Each structure stands twice: as C-alpha cells, then as structure tokens.
Amino acid sequence: MPASSCVEKEMPLLNRCIEDMPEGKEQAVGIDDLSVYVPRLFLPLTGEFSQRRGIDAGKLAKGIGIEQMAVPDAHEDAASMAAMSLLDLMRRNDLQPEEIGKIYVGTESSVDEAKAIGTYVIGMLEKVYGKGSFHECSTVEYKAACIGTTFALESLSYWLAAEDSELAGVVIASDVARYPLSSPGEYTQGAGSVSLLLRKRPRLLAFEQIYGSFTRDENDFFRPTGAKTAVVNGKHSNQCYLDAMTGAFDSFARRAEKKGIIKLDREKDDCVTDHIDHLLFHIPYPRMVEYASASLFRHDWKKSSGRVQQMEREIGPEPKMQDCRDAAEHQSAESDYARRFSKSPSFLQTFNEKVSGTTALSRRIGNIYTGSIYLGLASLLETKRLKPGQRLGFGAYGSGCSALFFSAIVQHQAADVPSLNLMQKLDSRKQISLKDYEMLHEQKAEKSIIKPHEEFVFAGMDSQGYRHYEYVTSAIE
C-alpha cells in the first residue's frame, strides 16, 4: 500500500466532520479565531549575521530553515506583546471585556517571578477599555517551557465545555527566545505572541477533547533562576523531542481508538496518521519539523504490514540488532536508515501533503517558544489550506520534558475567519543591522529604533522594581 494513501479520502470530509465530532456537537468547543503579533524589527540570518558568525548561509536557510528572526524593540517584552495580540484579537471580533471569562497565558519569558503576566496584560488592556473592565476575568500563567500554552489551552477547553454561559476564553502565547550572542542557539531566536479565542460552537476548529501525554525528567533545555538566557543541550534536546512526541502520539492513538474518534480499517491496513490531514508540531526551527515528521511517520507505519513492505521496496529493511556486531554499529545503521527514510518518495510525498505548509511563518519569524506550534496554524490559515472536515493533529513539546498530542476538526465556518495579512505585515518590517540587534539583545539600547505608535510600551520600573506599561497613541521620542 502506498504510504500516501488515505482511507479518509474515500469518504467526504464533511461526513467526518459530522460523524467524528465529540458527543453533543452543539456544545463543541475550540478555536474561533486567532491573532498574531510580531515585532516590527527583523534581522536577516544571511549576509552580515552569517559572515560575522562564520556560519555558512546555506546551513541557516536550508539546513536549519530560518531566513529571518523577529527582534523586539527596546520598549517591547513578553507582556507588551501579549497585550498587543489580545488587543488585535478583541478588535477583530468586536469582543468586549465582559465577554471574556478567563485569560490564560503560556510563557517562559515571564517578566516577574511571582506576579502572573496576565495581570500586566489586563492592566494594559484596561488603559484602552477602561479601569475595572476586566474585574470579573481571571488569569493564570503557565510555565512548562515550549508546551506551556498548550497546557493552558487544554485546561481552558475543559472549563469552557463545563461553563453554562456564553463566555469566551482566551489563551495567549508570548515569548522572546533569547540565547547568548555567538552561541549555537543564537540563530534560532525569535519573538512574538499568538492569542487564541476559544468559544463554544467555534468557527475555525473544534477540539475532539482527547489529549495524549508524555512526561519525563530531562536536562535538555532549562534556564536557571536569575539567568537571562537558557542552557541548551542541543542533540540531547532533539532526541528528547522525538521520544516525547512518539510517546504522546501513542497515548493519543490509544485513547482516540478507544473512544471511537479514529476507527482503523484493519482490512485496508491503514494507520492513525491516515486519519489526520495536517500535522502541526512545535517549531524550534523549521528543519526540526522534518525530523519530527520522519520519526512519527516511521513509528506509525511500522504498525502496517503494507507500509513496511512499501518502505522495504524503497529503501530496504530496517536494521536489526542481531545483524550488527555491537550497539555502536547498530546505532550507525539506525542513523543511516533514518536519513534514507527522510528522503524516501513515500515520506516526502506525505510530508509535503500534511506538514510542510505549517512552517511558512516560522521561517521569517524564528522560534517564539510556546506559540511556535500556533504559528503553524496561522500558516495554514494564511495559505488557505484548511478545508471543512479536515482533521488537524497537534504535537506540542516542552523541554524538560513534556509532550501533548491532540486533534481538532476544521469547521464549516472556517472560511468566514478573516485573513491575518501576516505576510504583508512581515514584508513591512524594518531590517536592522547586526550592531543594532546586539544592542537590543544585551538590553543596552537607550531608545527604540521605531518610535512607538498606537501600541503598548514598557515604560520602566519604579524604585520597588514594579513594571509599568503605557498605551501610546501617537509617535513619541
């Protein structure tokens, strides 16, 4: 059986939308809309950056998959960016403060060791909507490396399903990915915020409310208390990502089959991934999505005798320990097989159909930690790849390490969600020099490169260290 075959294509996607939705379809909850805020500054990774860092530009553009990184200006931080994406979300949907019951924020760039970042966000929004306008809205901050926002989304989705009112919920991802200058992780930096509007009877995506999970204690990525930049054990972190993703996927698959959300046809030898039209992963850098996809499809296809035979015809049999002299030889054979699998016709066709479209924005923004997976959703929305009835599979990862895998169905009203015009916004950003970037990175810039205008700004700290923010309506020096 060809790896790209999909049993779901034999029935209209509309039927899937009707038949496979959670019980009580009228009470389905999910993502009604989203908003993305990206700083107006960017640094190209080719040219001056790659030359000064002594890095082959081709390695960055093709080997890593990042062309540009978003850079926050001197007046921006994770809290101000979160407020900007939420303000845009509210304006897009004519949403009033009293209509929002909860605002959950996922971040690993928190601006305070105790105070929830969401309270700062509410304080900023009240400068636009009026003091006290969010008094009945609760907020909490989720920290779990890059998976924090997804845990927030899971929790808020269950609250929304149980809520007997028509209140909406908002989940915000906001982060500044920062590594030491000239470090191996520097070129995977980025910054931005994504706000997700969750409602009952959503226009865009309805969750199937099955979450597969995986957790174990690892030191692949962490930021010690007081440190401004993270510690990254790169190769180890990549392997932790792959292990956790496979574990979470298996957890999801068992629960989805048990609940009848996904029904495998044993006669047709299909796999769980045949029932997923788009796969979205956490995107620390776009090439990692290729590694994750190859690992997951290889793992899933092993359960299908037809897939195993197809891959043996294309690239030969998988290496077996008993055929190798020792563990080192087996590991070398495994690595070689994994490379051949990632270049096989069956995998490449499936990857292009189901995954490649999710990385368009990340290539020009970089890593935004907790929001990177939802940049993938924005990419699909902007490129008009979402069709009613399609199933999306989300594979979220957070170093340390945890993973969640869950699914959602594209709704009939998805076409009614207006464009975010993100490509145009990215085209209008200001390119900065390496010197300006380094000054901003080290927080030595005395003033903003672009004068703030109609946006929230960090206005400084008082004698107690409390942070103050303002909403600037006209350009200031």
Contact residues for 166 (Cβ-Cβ < 8 A; gap 6+): 99, 200
Contact residues for 342 (Cβ-Cβ < 8 A; gap 6+): 290, 291, 294
pLDDT digit string, tens, across residues 392-451? 999 999 999 999 999 999 999 999 999 999 999 999 999 999 999 999 999 999 999 999
Highest CATH level, class, for 7-472: alpha beta
Mean pLDDT, rounded, for 231-255? 94
Contact residues for 325 (Cβ-Cβ < 8 A; gap 6+): none
Mean pLDDT, rounded, for 368-375? 98
The token duo for 337 is: 């097989």
- Least Cα distance to 348 among 311, 389, 309 occurs for 311
β-strand 231-232 against 138-142: which pairing, if any?
Answer: unpaired
pLDDT surpasses 70 at 1: no
Q: Do the beta carbons of residue 80 and residue 117 sit within 8 Å? A: no
The token duo for 123 is: 């304080």
Residue 144 DSSP one-character state: B
Residue 146 DSSP one-character state: B
pLDDT surpasses 90 at 329: no
- Least Cα distance to 395 among 298, 252, 188 occurs for 252
Sorted by where each begins, the domain ranges of the chain are 7-472
pLDDT digit string, tens, across residues 294-319? 999 999 999 999 999 999 999 999 99
The token duo for 22 is: 């959670």
